[in-house]
Structure 1
Amino acid sequence: MEQKHHIQTYKLVRTLLITALLLTGTGCQKYLTIDPIDRLTGNNFYLSKADVESNLAFIYSRFFQKIQESWVMGAIGEARSGEIFPSPQSGDARTRPIDPDERQVVQVLGRNNLLDAIYNPRFLDYKFENITRWDGYYQVIQSVNILLSKLEEGIPGVSGADKDRYVAEAKFIRSFTYFWMVRLYGDVVYYTEPYFSSSLPREDMVSVLNKCIADLEPEKDKIVWTLTDPAQRGARPARGAIVALLMHMNAWNASFDRANSQSYHNKVAALGKELIDSKAHRLYEMTEESWAQVAKGRTEESLFEFYRSVNYGDVTLFPETWDNFDVRNHYQFWSHFLRWPYLFPRHDKSISPCYFISDYMNKIYPEGDADRRRDLWIEDITADNGQFVLKKFATNVYTSGNEQGYPDNSIIIFRYSDAILLYAESLAELDRTTEAITALNMVRRRAHATPYSGDGGGPLKNFIFSERCRELIGEAHRYFDLIRTRRIMNSEWTRTPMNIDQYNRRAWTWPLHESARIYNPQIVLNEYWTTIGR
């Protein structure tokens, strides 16, 4: 009876939300109800500024819907580097060993056995196959392309600064979506025309990101650093979000277009300085109360995030086949690293399903080194069992006793400290050692960690990389940092290094689902995953 009620509730939510928008970063104000999806492309829709707001809200909601389709934040950015293990005592059937020889899902991901993770019947409820499908991202891009064309034609009540802001915001979403796809699939199909229907082949990812950079750069100065409504901070992009995205795209290309790497690093450095000099963002104090604010979202430390309140029914659409799928427990990366008293009820939440292994944790947070993050964000740091807790995401839990509940945190995509460390990284690559150390120590001072005072060159670059591991643990950056810095090929930095052939054949991508070829026969699937067999 309970399961039947659960199914009926999900289907009712799906029916209601197909024509309504969810809350994003506007406080208690709900976005306006919008017309059905098939009317969003018609001239009858774009009649006012309110229509533009509604369409943008739909676009954000559509992207967030896509990343709710699986345990995406853990699978793409954290687990594949091999430091996450399942707790043997866990009551979770997906992570608990059935026999000593059976590999659990996080270990399968950590060995880069993606086909096993995707197609093994035991792991199907993680919905990893949805990560291989890129159509949801192209729905976002198509919606943005149509919106931009309508803004260019002219929409009543939208002109001047308002039009500039909407164009900048739309181009940010489009470029961000392409960047996200590049990191998942490598080469992608790039287009910016509305109602585009021609078949195009996949384009080299460096070229795609360079086009995104060229498209977005002119918009940076047309949008304010700080939005007038503080409830929109982070949830809607301001100039800091555009700067952060430009920094990340340039940093990615610096690795894969090595002949021009210095030019890319110079751009990252210039953008980082602009962001810091703006004083529009700040690092919050490393206290439990302040970090709870950062994790919840809409702070001055946030550059871009998906603001949500999962404990109050704030979920987006999902396929009807998800009737038995607890979306709160899966799209949130951190739910796999919490136990009682950070999750309830105690009788079935006494063990964290997964943990970061102790040799990795001791490497990035050496015992005896001053670092408040070690104590504030982690509990039982060296417990290679179910007692490990990543407290970094344990704040904002509003349940107790026998209630079911998960942390009420946002999905933070770009944070100020991430941008500072990316800035420091590029400065180090440019041999601007003093500036790099100054930027690095901005983050370490906030963490009450000993300032770096070592040598430049290799030692400094390695330390900055480790600082990103410390500062951004659990935020889905680590695996991508390994890829773009090429440390993925070095056993010093990952338990599952790739060889150069695997790296060049892009074993770091995800398989691309064959459905991508249905309407576009020019699409070639990711060669590495089509040749190694299932």
Structure 2
Amino acid sequence: MKKALYIILIGWVLLGNLGCKKFLSLNPPSDLSGNNFWRNKSDVERYTNGLYELFREAVFRPDMTAPSGAGEFPFLCWTGDLRGAPLVHPGGGREYFGYLTSNNIKAVVNYSVDFWNTNRFTQWDRFFKTIASANIAIDRIPGIDDPSMSDADKARYLGEAAFMRNLCYFFMIRIYGDVPYYTEPYFNGSLRRAPMAEVLKSCSADLDQYRKGLPWTYDNPALLAVRAMRGSAIVLQMHINMWLAAFDETNQETYYKKVDALGDELWNEGGKQAYELLPLTRTKEIFKGRSREGLFEIPQNVNYGESFGWSAFSDNVLYAPYKRAGITESYIYYIPDFMYELYPQDKPDLRKTAWFNPATMYSGTGKFIMLKYANVFANENAEDVNPDDNQIVFRLPDVNLLQAEALTHLGDRGKALRLVNEVRARAGATPFLDDGEETLLDNIFYERCREFMGEAQYWYDVVRTKRITNLQYRYGFHCSVEQFKAGAWTWPIDPAARNNNPDIVLNQYWLN
């Protein structure tokens, strides 16, 4: 049974997308067996590339070369940017915007326009496919006997597999709450959902074991940010511990101290040499991807006919000349009060001109536009021109702001202010002052809203900071504390998850 599962997973990783030439160099399928794989560094490189491809299939379209509208899956956009957000669709139709902003997730899942593949939001199988493959890599890599594969090479590949495994678990927890957890290779038993705090603690410990095998950066610029680096693992682990602090309040101080230590590791042990906050005049470079500011990104490449299609956030906030001439408005705009909160008209902030059109950013109309995503290309398979950007998952400002938030909770507002004001200095914005803990926490939250708009962070930040239960926070969706505890922030789980795991309990909030 284990050998059969092993061969299936090899097929998943190596044959998952034959069109993705930049990732894969394939042997004939008959050669992919347990007897002639895991022989050398080349095998490990191919398998590792396949892990990234599996993850991309879990959060985007399975065929990136298909025409727009085929296999669309706006996972990051819908779960991170649109859900519960203070935004409006200015026209008729596209009811899903209203469903998402009002947290009517049942209506989202049952949405009648099937090219969005909305039922996929309830299915975790693609994440577990990536995890199962990563588990095998971690099991097999130490035993490879290849003189060309150094101990440092093995440590790097193990670090990459561990990063992908824990990134998948983290993504699933932010969607479903409790999830099944395992790290054994070839596992084929029945699983129950484990408490998310216990899973996250295991993920953090796993990253402690493997992250220092990752390089701070790569000499090959094509690998920057699209392959895991030590900074990628650090920022993931910081997020994991901030999520733990939100849901395991008894041990908050331990988690905040861990976040601070991780941030210091990046700044003091090599991150300052590997990464930098780039000037906003280089915005196109930042969001094109593979820059020194990027910590982890999901790539697309027009040279291989690839496109995120309609599944990227950018599709919602651009119009001609960044799309074809017939599209004259964005599909969404952020409500003016929220934009005034983030970007007061009378205060300096270079992001207003680098990332928006100041004449329309407060308009409350479809003329709202985000120039942050204005890298475009013409693609004959697309509806119009589309951004040629990688999908940002983590950028360097995340480290500054997560560490600053943790430090504020620990009472070290001086160090917290230095870190958050580094981000504001890059934007030419007025530095924050020490006006007390609560004010600084609010300032850091809004700085995250400014910096990461459109980068799939908003919903997770309002959940993690419990702002969705706090009516003093005036924007977007709110629920009661009881609804929050019952799982109003989660997604439903497909009942098919119980087919092979009958002990799985579905998210009860969405069954009522």
Common fold, TM-score beyond 0.5? yes
Q: Report the Cα distance in structure 1 between the residues aligned to 2:466 and 2:453, rounded to whole angstroms.
A: 19
Selected match of 2:153 from 154, 162, 170: 162
Question: CA 1:137–1:403 in structure 2 vs 1: closer, same or farther (change >3 Å)?
Answer: closer
- Specify the alignment match of 1:208 in structure 2: 199
Selected match of 1:242 from 233, 242, 245: 233
Structure 2 residue 81 is matched with structure 1 residue 84: no
1:62 offset after TM fit, Å?
1.1
Structure 2 residue 449 is matched with structure 1 residue 469: yes
Q: Is the 8 A contact 1:213 1:249 kept in 2?
A: yes
- Specify the alignment match of 2:480 in structure 1: 499
Q: Report the Cα distance in structure 2 between the residues aligned to 1:31 and 1:116, rounded to whole angstroms.
A: 38
Query: What aligned pairs does 1:362-441 form with structure 2 within 5 A after superposition?
Result: 362-379=340-357, 380-398=360-378, 404-441=384-421
- Specify the alignment match of 2:277 in structure 1: 283
Aligned residue type for 2:346: G
Q: Report the Cα distance in structure 2 between the residues aligned to 1:508 and 1:39, rounded to whole angstroms.
A: 46
Q: Report the Cα distance in structure 2 between the residues aligned to 1:219 and 1:197, rounded to whole angstroms.
A: 25
- Specify the alignment match of 2:126 in structure 1: 136
- Specify the alignment match of 1:525 in structure 2: 506
Structure 2 residue 180 is matched with structure 1 residue 186: no
1:127 offset after TM fit, Å?
1.7
- Specify the alignment match of 2:75 in structure 1: 72
Q: Is the 8 A contact 2:319 2:330 kept in 1?
A: yes
Aligned residue type for 1:243: I
Question: CA 1:386–1:155 in structure 2 vs 1: closer, same or farther (change >3 Å)?
Answer: farther
Q: Deviations over 1:336-387 (max 9, x none)?
A: 11111121x21x2111111111111111111111101112111211222211
Question: CA 1:364–1:41 in structure 2 vs 1: closer, same or farther (change >3 Å)?
Answer: farther
Q: Report the Cα distance in structure 1 between the residues aligned to 2:83 and 2:430, rounded to whole angstroms.
A: 30
Q: Is the 8 A contact 1:172 1:216 kept in 2?
A: yes
Question: CA 1:18–1:211 in structure 2 vs 1: closer, same or farther (change >3 Å)?
Answer: closer
Question: CA 1:118–1:40 in structure 2 vs 1: closer, same or farther (change >3 Å)?
Answer: farther
- Specify the alignment match of 1:336 in structure 2: 316
1:40 offset after TM fit, Å?
6.0
Selected match of 1:448 from 408, 428, 451: 428
Question: CA 1:492–1:200 in structure 2 vs 1: closer, same or farther (change >3 Å)?
Answer: same
Query: What aligned pairs does 1:98-177 form with structure 2 within 5 A after superposition?
Result: 104-121=95-112, 123-157=113-147, 158-177=149-168
Q: Is the 8 A contact 1:305 1:412 kept in 2?
A: yes
Question: CA 1:458–1:498 in structure 2 vs 1: closer, same or farther (change >3 Å)?
Answer: same
Q: Report the Cα distance in structure 1 between the residues aligned to 2:33 and 2:245, rounded to whole angstroms.
A: 37
Q: Report the Cα distance in structure 2 between the residues aligned to 1:23 and 1:271, rounded to whole angstroms.
A: 36
Question: CA 1:403–1:243 in structure 2 vs 1: closer, same or farther (change >3 Å)?
Answer: closer
Selected match of 1:299 from 291, 297, 315: 291
Structure 2 residue 52 is matched with structure 1 residue 52: no
Aligned residue type for 1:81: G
Q: Deviations over 1:480-519 (max 9, x none)?
A: 0111111111233332211111111111011111111111
Q: Report the Cα distance in structure 2 between the residues aligned to 1:261 and 1:480, rounded to whole angstroms.
A: 18
Q: Deviations over 1:186-220 (max 9, x none)?
A: 11110111110110110001100100111110222
Structure 2 residue 481 is matched with structure 1 residue 489: no
Q: Deviations over 1:40-63 (max 9, x none)?
A: 672422222111111111111111
Give the gaps of 5 or more residues in structure 1. 1-15, 25-29, 96-103, 316-326
Selected match of 1:231 from 222, 243, 247: 222
Q: Is the 8 A contact 2:322 2:376 kept in 1?
A: no
Q: Is the 8 A contact 1:431 1:456 kept in 2?
A: no
- Specify the alignment match of 2:9 in structure 1: none
Aligned residue type for 1:468: R
- Specify the alignment match of 2:25 in structure 1: 32
Q: Is the 8 A contact 2:38 2:144 kept in 1?
A: no
1:159 offset after TM fit, Å?
4.0
Selected match of 2:251 from 250, 254, 260: 260
Q: Is the 8 A contact 2:216 2:230 kept in 1?
A: yes
Q: Report the Cα distance in structure 1 between the residues aligned to 2:245 and 2:27, rounded to whole angstroms.
A: 41
Aligned residue type for 1:82: A
1:221 offset after TM fit, Å?
2.1
**How many aligned residue pairs are there?**
480
Q: Is the 8 A contact 2:85 2:459 kept in 1?
A: no
Q: Report the Cα distance in structure 2 between the residues aligned to 1:205 and 1:308, rounded to whole angstroms.
A: 31
Aligned residue type for 2:479: M
* TM-score, length-scaled by structure 2: 0.90
Question: CA 1:47–1:21 in structure 2 vs 1: closer, same or farther (change >3 Å)?
Answer: farther
Q: Report the Cα distance in structure 2 between the residues aligned to 1:251 and 1:39, rounded to whole angstroms.
A: 45
Q: Report the Cα distance in structure 1 between the residues aligned to 2:140 and 2:228, rounded to whole angstroms.
A: 20
Q: Report the Cα distance in structure 1 between the residues aligned to 2:139 and 2:88, rounded to whole angstroms.
A: 48
Specify the SS of the correspondent of 1:389: coil
* TM-score, length-scaled by structure 1: 0.86
Question: CA 1:505–1:302 in structure 2 vs 1: closer, same or farther (change >3 Å)?
Answer: same
More displaced, 150-159 or 521-530?
150-159
Give the gaps of 5 or more residues in structure 2. 1-13, 62-72
- Specify the alignment match of 1:352 in structure 2: 330
Q: Is the 8 A contact 2:336 2:362 kept in 1?
A: yes
Q: Report the Cα distance in structure 1 between the residues aligned to 2:383 and 2:192, rounded to whole angstroms.
A: 51
Q: Is the 8 A contact 2:159 2:212 kept in 1?
A: no
Query: What value does the CA root-mean-square deviation take over the aligned residues?
Result: 2.1
